[in-house]
Structure formats: structure tokens, C-alpha cells
Amino acid sequence: MIDCSAPGKVYLFGEHAVVYGEPAIACAIDLRTHVSVEERSDDIIEITAKDLELKAPIARTTIDTREGIKLEGCLDSLNSFDYIRASCDKVFEISDQSKGVNIIIESDIPVAGGIGSSAATTVATVHALLKLFDIDATRREIADIGYSVEKEVQGSASPCDTFTSAMGGVTKVEPNVSLKRLDKALTDFSFVIGLTGKPSPTSKLVKEVKELKQKNPDVILPIIETIGKLSRRGETLIKEGRFEEIGELMNVNQGLLESLGVGSDKLSNLIYSARKTGALGAKITGAGGGGCMLSLVRSSDANTVSNAMEIIGTSKVSNVESEGVRLE
Amino acid sequence: MIDCSAPGKVYLFGEHAVVYGEPAIACAIDLRTHVSVEERSDDIIEITAKDLELKAPIARTTIDTREGIKLEGCLDSLNSFDYIRASCDKVFEISDQSKGVNIIIESDIPVAGGIGSSAATTVATVHALLKLFDIDATRREIADIGYSVEKEVQGSASPCDTFTSAMGGVTKVEPNVSLKRLDKALTDFSFVIGLTGKPSPTSKLVKEVKELKQKNPDVILPIIETIGKLSRRGETLIKEGRFEEIGELMNVNQGLLESLGVGSDKLSNLIYSARKTGALGAKITGAGGGGCMLSLVRSSDANTVSNAMEIIGTSKVSNVESEGVRLE
């Protein structure tokens, strides 16, 4: 049995703008998805994923029929099983062989939109399957494979999610330019993540922002560019450990996300609740609409902020995770 | 007895950015302040203002001691009495004479921040006093006198408030360039104004935005410029009667105000409540922090939107007021 895990992530700056080539700053968090794989004697792929809020927690198929064939038990239109199936495809292709395999997923990452559950699942699955075939790969290579899996499943994807999950730590993603890990820990600071309990329909929201931009380019383009500036400024502030200013600019970023139309009343309530109870800054993380928000807090304030949020939704306290995908 | 009245106003676009020379679009609303003046036989100025939420509704002074002397009954640090006192000063100066006078204020405009209660009081008082001295003045002249009164009382002021109250209708204010009335009625559309019941500390908020801008000019300046673009685009849309797009851009403007840090949880709740119940757009009007928000609605939806807001705060349905300051 091979057990690998990979962390979830949050966006400190830059979601949505990253779609238009602006940089984004993400950060791995200490909530992880574990993927265990073991070879079977037959040609069946059986996936068990009890924590991923799937209508059926077990999916099954044979290797022969896997391509283009709905996994048994896979009832949702697009769900975690698709990422696992596509990861199998990709690794079978890379290794030029296939095996029947049991895949068991256990995850601490809420399936909530914006905190990287699918990227962590993908990256950990890829790593575990590569290990099963005895193929060595660097974290960066795993990130790239994970990205191609996400692109295949979603049609398009941000390289940020799989990169951050694979590499760990704080990362800067500049599409078509570079992905890099910033060597800075956010010691003494924690995140409190607020969950709305409502889905965050990423592709719908990305489309709506695109339409808004097409209708009002002279207004929306500068907003997108300004989000990019926040990411660049955020990079400097992170390197210099200037957390109060990071929080302040997270709040500015939140307003700009609101202006793109991806806010919601529940996200707003969680955000104001965090700010009122001591957060240095609070904003949507991910595509918005529903999903999650992120607050940056002094670790000593984490419980106070979290308790206040629990009145509105649910919350998770987490910290920067410096280690990316790993063999357990 | 001379009775004059002047309307309140809302900002469709541009508050805060107007401080930095960007244009703003305001609109007079059909909530009015009435000011009645009558000459007295002595040299006492007695002001009665029961609707202006003053700690003492009556203030009294003699002309001799009026300058620099606290009005009897005037307990608040800065309140409507100051505007009335300064209006007396200004008109006495213009007419080169003074008279003892009873001034009675009756107002439909909630004293709530952002809907122009002080500008309406000032403009109507100036007009009534000019009439008392038999001085003719155009609306534009009354606007200018009102602006100088507001500047004296507040230290600084936007010409937008007094201009819109004096002229009526939809107005565009471009500081140091022009103030103009847009000849377009918003027929079939109404405003539902939501009141947080909390003060909107204008000068504090203007100062905070200034500080945020000084700290992060590369981020905040483009936001301010983008608000200016919204006003310019708004002008075109108003002229062409494209109300759905006006609403959409009001929502964009709201996000940009949030990014400047002038939002609040209660404003947000009112804004999302309006959007959810049919408003075409909703945003803060005025300086924010507390005060009021504004939603643009189809007149047929006004009651639905208003009722939903009443769960959170209080609300007022109003319409564009085409007539500015007038003698009743």
C-alpha cells in the first residue's frame, strides 16, 4: 500500500485576474488529502472516497472500459472521481502500462470551492500512482502532470492550484511566465477559513466575469490589472513579513472581487465578521459566488475569529503548510 | 412668511473619487426640506428644526452675538443649526443688512448621511432668506452660495450636494470643470434607499481613503480613476435610458467603494437584500461606513425591495425629483 498526501490551498491575492494573465499569490494550508493505492490482481479500478461529499462514495470500473465510460457509482456531473480517473489515465500513459488498483481517498479538506480539494486529490493520486509504477518525479513534475489532468477534466484550469498543492508554502503564479515558491513562512499568523456551505460554480463565474469585461472593458480591465498589482505588492509584503499590510490589501482585493460580481451575502457576512473580531484582512478565496472566504489572523486571535464565524457558517483554522505533495 | 424647499440627493456614481477630481453623477430625490422664514420685530434669530434629529430642536441667538457664539440649545458638535447660522451670515453679507428672523425647518429627508439633508437645508434656507431681503437669484447662484456655506461649516465640501439640491434632476459634477444637469428623467424607475441607522462619518472616511491612497498609490489611484470612468459611462447610459446597465455599473461601483474601505456589514446586508429582491443595482450613497445605501429598482418592484430591506434596517422609496430649490 502506497500512501501519498497533498495539501489544500488558499488564494491570498489574484483569483479571477489570474485568468487574464495577472499574477496570483496562493498558499498551501495544513489540511491534506491522503491517497492510498494498492495493486489488484484483476483489471478493476476501485475508488473509495468517503470524505469527498460524493453521492456514492465508491466508484468502480475496469481498465478496458474506463475511457469515456461512466464509473459505476459516479452520479455527479463533475466530481472528484473524474480527477482520479484522469490521473489514472495520465499515469498509465506516462508509464506505458496499466494495473488494476484500489484507490482510497481520505481528506481533511472541505469540498467547498476555493481551497483546493480537487488539486490536492489530483496531485496526491498522481504521486501515489507514479510510485506504484516505480517512477520518480520531482514535485514540479508532479505539479505539471496534475495541471494537465485538471485541464483535461475541466476544459481549462489554473496551474496555480496543482502547483501550490505539489510545492507547498506560499507561491506566486504568473501565467506563461513563472511559478515560484516564496521562501517565507507566515509564523505567528493563521488563516481562518469560512465556509458558506453553498457551491462556488467556478466556470459559471469565470464566464460571467468575462462577459462583464467584454461589455465594459474600460472599467473591468483596470480592475483586473489592479488585482495583479495587489499580487505583486503582496509578494513584497510577504517576503518582508508585513502582515498588517497584507491584511489591508486583502481587504482591497475583496472589494475588487465584489466589483467583478463574484461576492455573495453570506461571503460578505463571514468577511465582516472576521474583520470585526480581529482579522487583519478577509476576502473570498477562489471563484466566489459561494464557496469559501479566507481571513488572515494573528494565531492568538484565531479562535475568537473562528467562533464568530461559526454563527454564520462553518469555519476551519489552518496554517501555512510548507510541505507539498509527499509520500507518507 | 416665506416658504422655500429643496430636495435631497443620492449618488448614482462617483462619491469619494470626486474628492480627487473625478466626475460624479448625483440625482435629486423627491424628499424635500422646507424652510419657512419670517421677519421678527427684534434682533433675535430663532431656529426651530424638529425633524433634524437634534438634541434640542430650537436654537436662539441675537444677531450681535451670533458670530462665533454658540447658539442656545445647540448641543451637538456640528449639526444642521450650523448650516442655518452660516446661511444667515452669508445672506446678511450679500444683502449688506440683517434682520431678526424666525426660521422653521420641516424635513422629509432622513438625517442619515449620504442623502443630502444638510445641503437641502442650506439651499432652502439661503433661498428663503434671499427672498426675505427681496434679492433675486438663479438656482445656479443659490447653489454657489450654498456651496460656500457648506465649505465654511465643514472646512471643505463637494459642490455636488448643493448643486444637485438647487438644480434638481440628474446632475454631473466634474470638479473644477463643470456642473451640469442631465436632461433625462428616470421614468418607470425608483430608488429604494436603505438606512443603516448608523452615522456616516464623512470627514473621517475621506481621511482614511486619503491615507490608504498615500500608502498604496499604485493600487488606489487606478481604483479612483475607474470610479471616474463609471461616472462617465453612467452619464451616457442615463442619457440613453439603459437602466439595467446603470444598475450593473452601480454594483461595480459598490465593489470599488468596498475596496476603498468604506463599506460596512449592515450596508452590505441591505445591498445584497436589494439585489436579491429585484434591484437592478445597489450601492452605498455618500461617504459610507454607515449612513445609507441606494438601490435602483423598477417602480413595480419598489415595495418588494423596500419590504425586504425593512427586515435589516429602514427604507425609503423615492423618485427622481426634477425640480430643485423652489419658492412654495
CA distance B74 to B55: 8
Q: Which residue ranges make up each domain of chain B?
A: 2-182, 189-318
Q: What is the pLDDT of residues A95-140, one digit of tens each?
A: 988 889 999 999 999 887 789 898 999 999 999 999 999 999 999 9
Q: Do domains A2-182 and A189-318 have the same CATH topology?
A: no
What string of pLDDT tens digits covers the 328 residues of chain B?
Answer: 999 999 999 999 999 999 899 999 999 999 999 999 999 998 888 888 877 766 666 777 777 655 544 555 554 545 677 888 889 989 999 998 888 999 999 999 988 778 999 899 999 999 999 999 999 999 999 999 999 999 888 777 778 899 999 999 999 988 765 667 666 666 778 999 999 988 888 888 999 999 999 999 999 999 999 999 999 999 999 888 899 999 999 999 999 999 999 999 999 999 999 999 999 999 999 999 999 999 999 999 999 999 999 999 899 999 999 999 999 9
Q: Using the 8-state DSSP alphabet, how is residue B103 labeled? A: E
Q: Given the residues A82, A108, A144, A161, select the one marked as catalytic.
A: A161
Q: What is the pLDDT of residues B146-170, one digit of tens each?
A: 999 998 887 777 788 999 999 999 9
Q: Closest Cα partner for A49 from A17, A14, A13, A74?
A: A74
Q: How far is CA A95 from CA A133, A135, A246, in A?
A: 7, 8, 43
Cell of A303: 479562535
Partner residues linked to B100 by β-bridges: none
Please tell me if residue B264 touches chain A, with a CB cutoff of 8 Å.
Answer: yes
> Quick check: helix, strand or coil at residue A58?
strand
Q: What is the pLDDT of residues B21-55, one digit of tens each?
A: 999 999 999 999 999 999 999 888 888 887 776 66
Nearest beta carbon to residue A256 from set B218, B229, B255: B255
Nearest beta carbon to residue B225 from set A222, A230, A255: A222
Cell of A99: 494495473
- Name the residue with higher pLDDT: A225 or A154: A225
Nearest beta carbon to residue A259 from set B233, B256, B269: B256
Cell of A194: 469560512
Please tell me if residue B223 touches chain A, with a CB cutoff of 8 Å.
Answer: yes
Ranges of beta strands (E only) in chain A are: 2-13, 24-39, 44-49, 58-62, 101-107, 170-174, 178-182, 189-195, 281-285, 292-298, 314-318, 326-327
CA distance A26 to A286: 10
Q: How far is CA A253 from CA A17, A268, B8, B14, B255, in A?
A: 10, 13, 33, 19, 10
Q: Given the residues B43, B161, B183, B301, select the one marked as catalytic.
A: B161
Please tell me if residue B50 touches chain A, with a CB cutoff of 8 Å.
Answer: no
Whether A161 is catalytic: yes
> Quick check: helix, strand or coil at residue B151?
helix
Q: Which fold has domain A189-318?
A: Alpha-Beta Plaits (3.30.70)
Minimum distance, in Å, between the CA of residue A177 and any CA atom of chain B: 22
Chain A residues close to B215, C-beta within 8 Å:
245, 248
Minimum distance, in Å, between the CA of residue B223 and any CA atom of chain A: 7
The answer to whether the beta carbons of residues A293 and A285 sit under 8 Å apart is yes
Q: How many CB atoms lie within 10 A of CB B12?
A: 31
> Quick check: helix, strand or coil at residue A296?
strand
What is the dotted CATH code of the domain comprising A2-182?
A: 3.30.230.10
